[in-house]
């Protein structure tokens, strides 16, 4: 699986392994720009494709607004779901820069968090959207 190759062969351990059946979103990555679970992609399918992982989200030591807002809103506790949340919400905000709360909640329905109860995550993503829109 792509998730195993990322973690075990390439040492890119930011992509987490949760359910391993495509239900929890902890292994979210972009494959040719499409949001997918890396646990449901054969590594061989990714040959010659572009893969974006959490390791590429912060640039030059500067956190992405979504990462910054997750910290400010205390949108994480154990942190296992966080890389997947960041990848998924960044994909949403690039497609839809001004989503409603309902749209954020539906978009992130495939990213399970067992710590926060989601409210702080949703607030952080909404706030990051506002920051990215320059508000």
Partner 1 sequence: MQSVQYAAPTTLAQATQALQGASDAKILAGGTDLLVQMKLGIREPGLIVDIKRIPELTAFTLGEHGLHLGAALTSAILHDDAQVRARYPGFMEALGLIGSSQVQGRCSAGGNLCNASPAADSVPALIVNRAVCNILGPAGERSVAVEAFTTGPGKNCLGSGEILVSIDLPLPAPRSSDAYLRFIPRTEMDIAVAGAAVALTLDAAGVCTAARVAIGAVAPTALLVPAAAEALIGTALDDTALANAAAAASAAASPITDKRGTAEYRKKVVGVLVRRAALIAKARIEADS
Q: Distance between CA atoms of 5 and 23, rounded to whole angstroms?
A: 19
Task: Residue count of the chain, please give it.
Answer: 135
Q: What are the tokens at 71?
A: 């910290």
How far apart (Å, rounded) are the C-alpha atoms in residues 17 and 23?
11
The encoded tokens of residue 76 equal: 């994480």
Least distance from C-beta 35 to partner 1, angstroms?
5
For residues 48 to 87, the per-residue mask of contacts with partner 1, x marking binding by CB under 8 A and - elsewhere, is ----------------------------------------
Number of residues engaging partner 1 in binding (CB under 8 A): 28
Helix (H) or strand (E) holding 34: strand 34-37
Window of 3-11, 32-40, 51-59, 62-70 that interacts with partner 1 by CB under 8 A? 32-40
Nearer to partner 1, 72 or 100 (CB): 100
Is residue 11 a contact residue for partner 1 (CB under 8 A)? no
């Amino acid at each position: 699986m792509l998730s195993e190759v990322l973690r075990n062969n390439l040492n890119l351990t930011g992509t987490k392994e949760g359910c391993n059946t495509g239900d929890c979103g902890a292994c979210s990555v972009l494959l040719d720009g499409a949001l997918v679970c890396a646990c449901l992609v054969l590594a061989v399918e990714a040959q010659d494709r572009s893969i974006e992982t959490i390791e590429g989200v912060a640039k030059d030591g500067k956190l992405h607004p979504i990462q910054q807002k997750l910290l400010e809103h205390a949108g994480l506790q154990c942190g296992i779901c966080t890389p997947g949340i960041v990848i998924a919400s960044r994909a949403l905000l690039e497609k839809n820069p001004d989503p409603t709360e309902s749209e954020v909640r539906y978009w992130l329905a495939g990213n399970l968090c067992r710590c926060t109860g989601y409210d702080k995550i949703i607030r952080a993503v909404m706030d990051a959207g506002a920051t990215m829109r320059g508000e």
